[in-house]
Amino acid sequence: MTLNWANRITIFRILLIIPFVSFMLKINDPVLGDSGRNAMRYAAILLFLLMAVSDGIDGYLARRKNQITKLGAFLDPIADKLLMTCACLLLASERAHVEVFLLPPTVVVLIIGKDLFLLIGFVIVYLITSQIHIAPVFVGKLATALQLSMVAGILIAPEASSVLPGWIWLWLLRSLWWSAAGTAILATLIYIRAGSRYIEQYEQNLANKTPD
């Protein structure tokens, strides 16, 4: 199977998660000093923005060149979920959080829980229908956009707080991360409903094809 450029970019995005996690784990390392820790955070920001931009580029290329494949449809959401899972866990940890802007564990549980439910649903649909069924919905895309904005907002918080009062930026971030968590819950419910309907339709079509 020949990889098209959209799939190559998606795979590259997945590989970038490794150095991103490595930089994040060093942003509170006391050995590095203030300048070294800031350098690690800036590097993490750069990689995160690169991955976020590449997410739009691979989708654009796939649609523009009519190169939408099952592999791409599978890898793209996997890349998003791996990135968000790693970013959320790190930003909620003592070792890799951004000072004063620790991500609440509840938000992490809701966001990662959504992805776990979707993974379980994907497996269930495949086991029942023997088909790969991935149908993105607007709320799911909105949840992803809010999550990306949330992570970026936390990473740049020290600089943003020098432009706006710290309490204002913290309030904005809190609004953002609870919005991300809320849309994650809504997206989960919508995906569960859509998956159930897909299974029902499959079983109905199967019953109609079965001879009396």
Mean pLDDT of 185-200: 87
164 three-class SS: coil
Find, among 144, 138, 126, the residue nearest to 198 by Cα.
Answer: 126
What is the rounded distance in angstroms from the CA atom of residue 183 to the CA atom of residue 114? 10
Kindly tell me if the per-residue pLDDT of 212 is higher than 60. no
27: left (phi over 0), alpha (psi -120 to 50) or beta: alpha
Kindly tell me if the per-residue pLDDT of 149 is higher than 60. yes
Domains defined for the chain, CATH in brackets:
5-209 (1.20.120)
Could you tell me the pTM of the whole model? Answer: 0.85
